[in-house]
Structure formats: C-alpha cells, structure tokens
Structure 1
C-alpha cells in the first residue's frame, strides 16, 4: 500500500490541480494507494476536498496580513503549531511521499517532510515562483513546472516540465459549435467573444463590458459576447444590461458548460491564472489576457507575458482594459491570419497529460 499526502489550497488554482493528480493516482494505483489531503483550517479546501470524496485534515496555519492587524501576532505561533501537527500527521499516516501544490498548508507540510527524510515533490503552477517554493525547492526531489525557464528559481537537475494538471477533459475539438451557440442563444453569422473572470468575477472585465455596450449607442454590435459576470457582480451587471439591452450578449454569473463556451468562442478575454492559461492552451483559443494586479508577486502578469512574448496570446494591462480590450478583440476578429497565428501559438504550449506526468514522477520516487 502506497501512502501519499497531497497539500494545496486557499484557491481553486491550488486545490483542483491536487485533485486532478489524486484522480490520476486513483487510476494508476487503484486500491493500492491511500491518499490524504492536508489543508489550512478555515480555507475552501476543507469543504471542497471532502465533497469530492477525499479525506483531509487541517493545519492552523495562516498568512501574514499586509496591513498592521492584531491577528498578525498569532502567525508565528500558528506556524510552529502547524509544523508540530504536520510532523504527527506524516508520522501517523506513514507517508511515502508528500506533494505540494501551493497554499498556506503546503509550506509547513513539505518543510517538515523534508526534515523527516520523506521525499517531496513541488508542483509550481505559475511562470514566477513564490518565495516559499523557492525555499522548499532546495530539499525537494522533483519540481514539476508548467513554463520554460524555471531554472531561474529552481535547481535545473530537479525540474520536470509537466504542465498544470486539470480536472476534466479540455481539447481543441471539444463540443459541437452549433450546439454551443444554441445553448447561449447566439447566431452563427457573427463571431463570439468569451469574457470570463472567474467564479467571483472581476470588476475590470465587467466595467470593460459596460463601457463597450455604452460605446455602441444602441447600434448593432459587430460581435456577440458570452459574458460571465461572476456571482459578486451578477445583480449589478444584470440591471445594467436590462437598462441597455444589446442583441447577441449572453450574460450570467457563472458558466455551467465551459465546454460549450469554449466551442462557441472565436476569441477569449480572460484573467491569466495558471489553470486558466493551461485550459486555454488545450482548447487553442486566441486570447487576450488581462492580468489581475491583485495577486502575489504579480504572477498573473508574468504568466501572460510568458505567452505574449512567444506570440501565443495578447496582453492588455488591467488599467487599460476598460477602454482598449474590447476594441482590440473586435479588431483581431477581423483579421483571420492573426487569429490563426494566435491559435497555433497557444496550442503549441498545450500539455494534455499533466496529471499523468506528475504521477509518473511520484511512482519513480516511491517505486
């Protein structure tokens, strides 16, 4: 029986890659492996992971707030307690390997495992490594990455280019486009832009859509839009569109059929989180990235820049997107050669077996 600890959380970008690897481990080992997730108490992984059928235990770890707050005083004590608890978890579980996917809990779990002589693997989703992973990489046996050039941050002899593991199956062929258009109530005669900013949405992309609708002045839109507002902004944007009705715009707080959204879209405007970038590579969609400026170490800009510098995507800064992103999208849709070039460029970066590649590295370490 192989015993494997997976640690990642805080956001879906850390949780779902870990779950994708757990699913691949299940396919590889079947009943011959026992998996345990380790997360941070009070974070979303403590609900999401059990809902998917996996066992999880929590650590009291917390991050330092940027502003001066009294709760920052407890952070060092929580870190020490988390290390002590991680030691007990690893010992009692009898872990053969620990795999970290980022998030608060990964730090103490991997750090402790390395000092206990348990092999560790890091999965770095972004093109710019965070401080914690740079430190942990010194003791890691493998560092699984999604971007080229990561030897800037990690020992080159331990880097393995695996891509980012994703749940579900994303591919260029995907769903039937006719079905997808009917699902959103769109026509085949006009191109489609997919505007997506995550489950909570993004103020910038929603303001971009409002500015574009107002710029039409009631005239027919040159393109159709699938507009995901996010739950947080749903009511405000629904009321806006009711006051400014525009043909060919589907609007909703979330998209339950992303396969249809990708099949219908001729171009995507999106944030540039690591898993989103990997999805877009697999579906080979021409993309304009609008990186969020409100993330650690500005990693979304670095993710987008890694593609833009290779001609695999376009990038618009967050503070310029409201005025310029939709006009850019309309212009690109009028240039078939540019669309085709962007599609080829982003498809060349796709890796469709990332989870299996990471499982292969786990198998090598534990036999």
Structure 2
C-alpha cells in the first residue's frame, strides 16, 4: 500500500486524516504513507508527531483567502505543479483528500495522472473544495447523510467521521468514573476560542464555589491571560493548556465537555459517549456548526447554546442543571448511540478498494 493523504488548516480536517493513517498502518505495517498539506498550518507538525512523512505545498495564497483572490491564481498553479511532480515520483495507489484548500491541488493532480482519488467530507454541509472535487473523484465518503444532495449518490458512501483508536477505546469502558459529576473540559478547537475563554473567566468565582474541576484548552493566543485569571482566583487545581495532544485522556477525565460544534469534535464526543454543552461558531461556512449541534441536541446528547445566550446568561447558570450524575449519564448514553466508531475502518476499506485498481 502506498497512499497519499492531503488536507490542512485546522484540526477538524487533520484529525480524521490521522485516524485513517493510523488504521492503514495497523493493517499494512510495511505500507507507505505520505501527507501533503499547506506550509503554514499545523498539519506538518501533527503529521511528524504521528510518524508520517510530510511534504508542504505552496498553498499560502489559497488557505483562508479563497480562490477568487488574485494571489491565489499563482499559488494554485504552483501547488498543482508541485503536486504533479510529487505524485509522479511517489506513484501512490490512491490519493484521499479531507477538505480544506490545501487538499484541492493534490487531488486534482492525482485525477489528471489517472490515480484513483477519493475525498472525505466531515460536515453535513460540504465545503467548497469538496463540492468541486466531488464531481471528479472516484468516491465521496461522507460523515452525515447527504440531505442537501451535494454529491452524486452513485459514488457516495456514508462512513462516518474517523476518530483515533485511543478515543474509540473509551467506548469500551476505558474511562474514569466520577460520582460527583463535576469535572468539566473546555475546548475551543485547535486554535482556541476567545468566546469560551471569556465565559469561563467571567464565572471562575461561581465555578470555584461550586467545586468544579476544570481542564481548559485556551489556544496559544489567550493562554497567559487565562492563566493569570485562574491564579488571581486561587484556582490552583485547574489544568490550563494551549493545546491538548492526548484527547483520549482528556475525554476520559471529563464528566461534561463545553466546546464548539466542529464535526470532528462531535464525532469524538459521540464515539466516546460524552455529554456536552455546544456553543456553535456563528461565522462558520453555511452555519454548519449550528446544524451539527442541533443534531445532537435534538437527540438529548447535548445542550446547544448560542454565543449571545452564553454572554447574557452566564456559563455557570447554563451548566448547573446538568451537574447531576444521572442527567450526565443519560446524555452520555444518547451521545454514544450516535457514534460511528468504525468510521476509520470504513474509509480504509474504500482506500484499499481504490488502491486495488492501481495494482
């Protein structure tokens, strides 16, 4: 097996790619993987930590600026040429893109070279890159039912959103039991969330008085200011980190998770069976985070709170009714019913089938 994975920009795209890489390496210990991504995102570091060779593409003018910007024409052209050269030399059996602008050029180049191509879409409303590539690739793998009919149903397969093996292990009872139900994990996504950080800091006195244990991922930008706020309140038992690498440990520790509603985070929550308070990012494309959060809230797995309500009501007032062991357990069971722990295996199956065409 020789497979190329490509994506970049945020953890929401990168973590599913790494989960699939993990499954491929488990099945094919002697296989070869190559990760193609952008120069300025976290994907290079994350691939290196996972032991996957990484090649950066000149995608700076694409990521975060959109394909209509003037500079993007130059960078897209350069990235396509780089992708053609890398793929021609590497000769993969299949190429799979996980969304984000960094994946556009490698998947397109693979298509031109006659290499079997696949894409995986994490959100219920696909991003622009995957909607374009979906017309040309061999197979489209989706995390949610394609209710908006964005893809050709003849080549679309529902796989779920891949999560890493360590998180899947939590589903088998490999987690702590906390009779008080007062351990809360705050996640703002891979870059952190100022909205969540401010909400927690504002209610630190109430949280401390309520005996709440906190593990808070702040992002790099707000780390020092949040740490100073905890210190000023004498909140010495809290864990405050810019980024949490071992998410399985964090989920295993937590009784309740307060977070954004990115597709990958929700997939991890449902596979791990964790109750949550979801605060969707209101400026996400097509407001897809609200759609994601609503799906869990309607099934009793989460409570959905807008940024406006969070600011007006206060974090502690929102979570206080949830801090009962039975309520948390009921929400956790509902979350677990929505999880698809075999998603990485399903994507790996599709990759093996595509690769077999190339042999």
Q: Fold conserved (TM > 0.5)?
A: yes
Match runs of 1:100-179 below 5 Å: 100-150=97-147, 152-170=149-167, 171-172=170-171, 173-177=173-177
CA displacement at 1:198 relative to structure 2: 3.5
* Structure 2 match to 1:38: 36
Q: CA separation in 2, counterparts of 1:159 and 1:169?
A: 28
Question: RMSD across aligned C-alpha pairs, in angstroms?
Answer: 2.7
Counterpart residue number, 2:255: 266
**8 A Cα contact 1:204 1:318, kept in partner:** yes
Distance 2:62 2:341 in 1: 33
Contact 1:121-1:143 within 8 A present in 2 as well: yes
Aligned pair in 2 of structure 1 residues 27, 222: CA closer, same or farther (>3 Å)?
A: closer
Between Structure 1 and Structure 2, whose CA radius of gyration is higher? 1
Query: Structure 2 length as normaliser, TM-score?
Result: 0.86
Aligned partners of 1:190 and 1:222 also within 8 Å:
no
Cα deviation for residue 245 of structure 1 reads 3.2
Counterpart-to-counterpart distance in 2, 1:12 and 1:285 = 19
Report the equivalent of 1:14: 13
1:335 positional shift: 8.1
Q: Deviations over 1:57-101 (max 9, x none)?
A: 22212327669xxx9432101111222222222222222211001
Q: What is the CA deviation profile of residues 18-65 of structure 1, one whole-angstrom value per residue up to 9, with x for unaligned ones?
A: 22212211222222x322221122332233323432222222123276
User: Is the Cα–Cα contact under 8 Å of residues 288 and 325 in structure 1 kept in the other structure?
Assistant: no
Answer yes or no: is the 8 Å Cα contact 1:193–1:267 preserved in 2: yes
The residue that corresponds to 2:267 in the other structure is 278
2:101/2:129 contact within 8 Å kept: no
| Map of 2:308 onto structure 1 | 319
- Of 88, 92, 102, which residue of structure 2 is paired with 1:91? 88
Structure 1 residue 23 and structure 2 residue 13: aligned? no
Separation of aligned partners in 2, 1:86 and 1:93: 10
1:99-126 Cα shifts (integer Å, max 9, x gaps): 0012222111112222333221111111
Which of residues 224, 227, 244 is equivalent to 1:235?
224
Q: Distance in 2 between matches of 1:318 and 1:107?
A: 32
Q: Which segments of 5 or more consecutive residues in structure 1 lack a partner in the other structure?
A: 179-187
1:332 is aligned, of 306, 317, 322, to 322
The answer to whether the 8 Å contact 1:291/1:317 transfers is yes
Counterpart in 1 of 2:70? 73
Paired residues, what number? 349
**Would the aligned equivalents of 1:199 and 1:231 in 2 still touch at CA under 8 Å?**
no
